[in-house]
Structure 1
Amino acid sequence: MSPDFAPALSRDAALRRLVQSFEAAGLPEARTDARFLALHALGLSPLDLTLRGRDPLGEAGAGALRGAAARRLAGEPVARIIGAWEFWGLPFALGPDTLVPRPDTESVVEAALRLFPERDRPLRLIDLGTGSGCILVALLHERANAFGIGLDRAQGALAVGRRNAEANGVGDRAAFLCGSWLEALTGPFDLIVSNPPYIAASVIATLQPEVRLHDPRAALDGGEDGLDAYRAILSGVAQRPGLLSAGGALVLEIGYDQAPALTRLAQTAGFAEARVGRDLAGNDRVVTLRPSLAGR
């Protein structure tokens, strides 16, 4: 049951009540969720809450907080309620066609930056299945002379990605195109990155409700074995080697147990070597493929 918030209740007291309600419901990040939602619903900064925590909620604040609490207690993720989330220290708006950016995906950005450590080097890159544009925007933010394309099949995702690029100051170096994987692209690209759908279709029904019910299925469903998107990407590069520049690379996010299968797919597609990187939890999370490694 959603807690009641009287307009005369102080902001501090309302936050405590919200934490208690989330804890009673068994939410694992009760305190953090409550603070994020309180700041959002009340339109406050952390400093505002600290300095003016004794101020009453007021009618509008009480109603907004009741609504946010009810949505969270019904299982909706905090990021969806807020409509935005942070990735790589940058803010990203969300939409129905985008995933919530996750910390694990920062492993893709880290791996890509290690490949091209010169900060002023001109780069041409493409993010396949860009969604919110978080990978693309993070890379452009770190490489001032890079230009990137965000490709996605969902027009809604492209609109969100474009807005995020502009909001984070890289809109003049980003383009967003509607398409499926590598179709109709000519290249060459120095870097191809992607966090594609990689959940096996039969597994989706077993995912946590926050993911299963609120993330777009198209961004999750990787086909019968979870590898359909990788097959499309790798075969596209293999059939048109000019898509990658000399010394170019692919950097792909993977599921924690997919490194062996993806390595085999890469070998079949003509990549002689695949380098696997791990996320902060120690799980396999990113595979880097460079055709130029074949002769080493």
Structure 2
Amino acid sequence: MTQPLRAALDAARRRLAQGGIPDPAGDARWLLAHATGLARDRLALHLDDPLDPAAAEMLDRMLARRLTREPVSHLIGRRAFWGRDFRVTADVLDPRPETESLVAEALTGTADRILDLGTGSGCILLTLLAERPQATGLGVDLSAAALAVAAQNAVLLGLGDRAVFGPSDWWEAVTGQWDLVVSNPPYIAETEMAGLSPELGHEPRMALTPGGDGLDAYRAIAKGAAAHLAPGGRLLVEIGPTQGGAVAAMFSAAGLSRVRVLPDLDGRDRVIAAEKLRNPDIRA
């Protein structure tokens, strides 16, 4: 007998709770909404509707995958970031709320040419382009699969004419100078990997850790920053909450100025901001 959505939702919540999923009620709502094709905020209006057998089968498959700790974003194929939905797959790092701190800082200034190093899903670059209609940008990544996802997101957001994506090992294939360079590089130390949540095991390892002390990406970024920033240009990178001092020192040693460590909404160090002065004889 066909059950109503209300019963299916309660059963899904219980199944996830019994499997130790951290937010069983929230995840159950996301998965049921996706299986039925309903917007999550409209689900409550349809709880007395019958659950279609095809939707029930899809929900069952997604619940089984969620119990392996596969992220909900991978199951529904999208993740919200800065008020927009981005397509995500196992080939890209999930956009996360803490990265919005980098976007917020980037939007305090202007930039016509934006470079995103290690672009992944493209969420940082594409958000900035959406908020700055005059800007154009380049996103680079070592992963061809990630670049494909980023290009799809550009089309979905109507930004395909202002965003270009291509392969590069950090600065390797990058030419010219940029008004704004942004990056959320891999920064988790090798010794920290075993303590991460099981969900992160479904995300690309190369987007999470460079190995070693977790700082190799910042060393590479610092090495090429001065040459690739336009005079007056800014560099913004996301960091782990214990890395502020080390990364700030690297950027200062690379000749950048006005190096600052900025917090996220929880008060943890999250972003390093630096500049290339217009007049190199004036430092601050």
Q: TM-score, length-normalised on structure 2?
A: 0.94
Determine the structure 1 residue equivalent to 2:254. 269
Which of residues 245, 254, 258 is equivalent to 2:230? 245
Determine the structure 2 residue equivalent to 1:126. 115
Which of residues 239, 263, 282 is equivalent to 1:254? 239
Which of residues 149, 155, 159 is equivalent to 2:144? 155
CA RMSD of aligned residues (A): 1.6
Determine the structure 2 residue equivalent to 1:4. none
CA distance, structure 2, for counterparts of residue 51 and residue 95 of structure 1 = 30
Which of residues 77, 81, 95 is equivalent to 2:89? 95
Determine the structure 1 residue equivalent to 2:17. 23
Determine the structure 1 residue equivalent to 2:211. 223
Query: Contact conserved, 2:241 with 2:270, CA < 8 A, in 1?
Result: yes
Q: CA deviation at 1:206?
A: 2.1
Q: CA deviation at 1:281?
A: 1.1
Residues 127, 13 of structure 1: alpha-carbon distance in 2 compared, 3 angstrom cutoff: same
CA distance, structure 2, for counterparts of residue 186 and residue 55 of structure 1 = 57
After TM superposition, list the pairs within 5 Å mapping 1:1-296 onto structure 2.
8-46=2-40, 49-116=43-110, 123-211=112-200, 213-238=201-226, 240=227, 243-292=228-277, 295-296=283-284
Q: After the TM superposition, which parts of structure 1 deviate over 6 Å for at least 4 consecutive aligned residues?
A: none
Deviations 1:227-262 (A, max 9, x none): 101100110124x2xx21121010000001100111
The letter for the 2-side match of 1:162 is A
Q: Secondary structure at the match of 1:81?
A: helix
Overall identity of the aligned pairs, in % = 47
Structure 2: where are the runs of 5+ without partners? Answer: none
Q: CA deviation at 1:76?
A: 1.2
Q: Secondary structure at the match of 2:108?
A: helix
Q: CA deviation at 1:47?
A: 6.0
CA distance, structure 1, for counterparts of residue 85 and residue 198 of structure 2 = 24
CA distance, structure 2, for counterparts of residue 166 and residue 173 of structure 1 = 10
Q: TM-score, length-normalised on structure 1?
A: 0.90
CA distance, structure 1, for counterparts of residue 82 and residue 243 of structure 2 = 24
The number of equivalent residue pairs is: 281
Query: Contact conserved, 2:168 with 2:174, CA < 8 A, in 1?
Result: no
The letter for the 1-side match of 2:164 is A
